[in-house]
A = this chain, B = another copy of it.
């Protein structure tokens, strides 16, 4: 469940409440990983308070100070008890620099494939895909050097997830990311909005905004290999559509979470 950042934490908490309900409700044991943030203690306290108020039975914090910690199995035991895992915002490249290639990354994938619910907001949404947007520039027109790709956690091989989408004008960078990764599907999640991806492939948008889909399944031509630096790209057959809250889509081009 990628969340586009800035989810409501004071009012109805629709998205966070939904996460708690889907993770076992009053018997939920949630693990919060706040380490994408440069203020992990504050972030951990905030989510502990909110999830507890929303009725979760237990909230544990798994903060990763360094790579060695993330690679030490004894530190990861708390994940075995988790019914839901929450990845905070911050900087996705910071988090992947801490956990990429470690036992923690393996454990998160393994828990996910065993059916544990994983939600992430902002940076925590970005890192869900294997082909991850590390950072990039704002703007509506795709251009060659607009985005820097890096390795994500890899809960999905087929999607590229972006966040704060409409608020930070990220259509250009998501289209560029898809042009660099043809065949993948770009997913741009607005603030205070979440995309719930069910194991059966159904997608459901929750919250105040929308989710923009950049679908390259019909891509006919891309000149990303020829465009220089800040040149705009020529892309033919790349389709952009927007899903709003409540819409349910059963047959997106690459719904499977784990490709061949």
Contact = CB atoms under 8 A, between A and B. Distances in A.
Q: Which of A94, A100, A131, A184: most chain B CB closer than 10 A? A: A100
The copy count of this chain in the complex is 2
25 contacts: A66-B221, A67-B221, A68-B220, A93-B180, A93-B225, A94-B225, A94-B226, A96-B182, A97-B179, A97-B223, A97-B224, A97-B225, A100-B183, A101-B184, A101-B216, A101-B219, A105-B183, A110-B260, A130-B130, A131-B151, A148-B148, A149-B149, A150-B180, A150-B181, A151-B183
Interface in A70-93: 91, 93
A contact residues, range: 35 or more
A131 B129 CA distance: 13
A105 B260 CA distance: 11
Interface of A: 66-68, 91, 93-94, 96-97, 100-102, 105-106, 109-110, 130-131, 134, 145, 148-151, 179-184, 216-217, 219-226, 237, 260
A237 B181 CA distance: 30
A110 B260 CA distance: 9
Contacts of A68: 220
A238 B234 CA distance: 38
A183 B145 CA distance: 25
